């Protein structure tokens, strides 16, 4: 399982596939203060990314891979304040 739900946290593991997006969306719908942990994530299908962008949960840990992390931050980092 690439998605692990623990209370209000979701852990993304390895490669999160397109089919997972539905479950993620359902979970986010009923979890208002959701938190996301990308530490073990290497890729996620953009369907999941869209769901995350729409729900804007708080991100606890970004992925280890710097380039991947930069991609995700461009989409999900709400607190970016360029100077």
Partner 1 sequence: MSKTILIVDDSATMILSVKSNLEMNGFKVETAGDGVQALSKLKSGIKPDLIITDINMPNMGGLELIQAVRALPGFRFTPILTLTTESQSAKRDEGKKLGATGWLVKPVDGADLIKVIKQVLPGA
Partner 2 sequence: MTPLLEQFLSEARDFLEGIGEKLMQLEDAPGDAELMTALFRMVHTLKGNSGLFDFPEMTRVLHAGEDLMDAVRHEQVEYSQDLADRLLDAMDFVGMLCDEVEAKGSIGAHHAADSARLAESLRRLIASVDAAAAVVAVVASALPNALTETGIVVAEADLPPLVDIPESIRMDAYRQACGGVDLHWLDYTPAADCFFQGDDPFFQARGTPGFLWGSITVRQPWPALAELDAYRCVLEFHLLTTAPREQLDEYYRYVPDQVRMIPVTPLFLALPQGNRNGGPVAYENFVDKALGLLGANQLEDLVLAASNLIELSSLELWLSSALRWLLLVMELEPENRNAFAKIIESLRRQSPPKWTELLPKVTGGNPPAKTELHLSQHSLTPEEAEVMTKMLDVQREILNLPIQENWQLGRIKAVAATLTGCLMASGDVAARAGLEAATAMALEEAASLPLLAWLDQFQQTRSTASVESLVNQADVGVPVPRNLSEIQSDLSADAVRVSDVDAEAKFGRRAEDAGIGPKSLKVDQQKIDRLMNLIGEMVVSKNALPYLAGRAEDVFGVRDLSREIKAQYTVINRIAEEMQDAIMQVRMMPVSFVFQRFPRLVRDTSRKLGKEVNLVLVGEDTEADKNVIEALGDPLVHIVRNSLDHGFEQPDERRAVGKPVAGTLTIRASQESDRVVIEIQDDGKGIDPDIVKRKAYQKGIIDEATLERISDQDAINLIFAAGLSTVDVISDLSGRGVGMDVVRTAVEKVNGAISLESEIGKGTRIRLSLPLSMAVTHVMLIESAGQTFGIPMDSVLETVRVPCASISSIKQSLVTVLRGNIVPLKSINALLAIAAPPQANSDHELAVLVVRCGNEAVGLLVDDFRETVDIILKPMTGVLADIPVYAGSALMGDGSVLMVLNIKELLP
> Of the candidates 1, 15, 64, 70, which one interacts with partner 1 according to CB under 8 A?
15
Residue 13 binding partner 1, by CB under 8 A: no
Q: Which is nearer to partner 1, 14 or 77 (CB)?
A: 14
Q: What is the closest distance, in whole angstroms, from the C-beta atom of residue 8 to partner 1 in the complex?
A: 28
Both structure tokens of 67: 């380039």
Q: What is the closest distance, in whole angstroms, from the C-beta atom of residue 44 to partner 2 in the complex?
A: 7
Residue 77 binds which one of partner 1, partner 2, none, with CB within 5 to 8 A depending on kind?
none
Question: What distance in Å separates the CA atoms of residue 82 and residue 25, rounded to the nearest whole number?
Answer: 30
DSSP H helices, 1-83, are: 20-30, 46-55, 66-76
Task: Provide the angle, in degrees to the nearest 10, between the axes of the packed helices 46-55 and 66-76.
Answer: 40
Q: Which is nearer to partner 1, 15 or 60 (CB)?
A: 15
Question: What distance in Å separates the CA atoms of residue 10 and residue 12, rounded to the nearest whole number?
Answer: 6
Residue 5 binds which one of partner 1, partner 2, none, with CB within 5 to 8 A depending on kind?
none
């Amino acid at each position: 399982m690439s998605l692990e739900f623990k209370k209000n946290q979701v852990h993304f593991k390895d490669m999160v596939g397109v089919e997972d997006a539905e479950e993620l969306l359902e979970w986010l719908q009923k979890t208002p203060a959701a938190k996301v942990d990308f530490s073990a994530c290497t890729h996620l299908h953009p369907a999941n990314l869209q769901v995350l962008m729409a729900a804007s949960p708080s991100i606890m840990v970004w992925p280890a891979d710097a380039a991947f992390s930069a991609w995700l931050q461009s989409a999900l980092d709400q607190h970016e304040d360029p100077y």
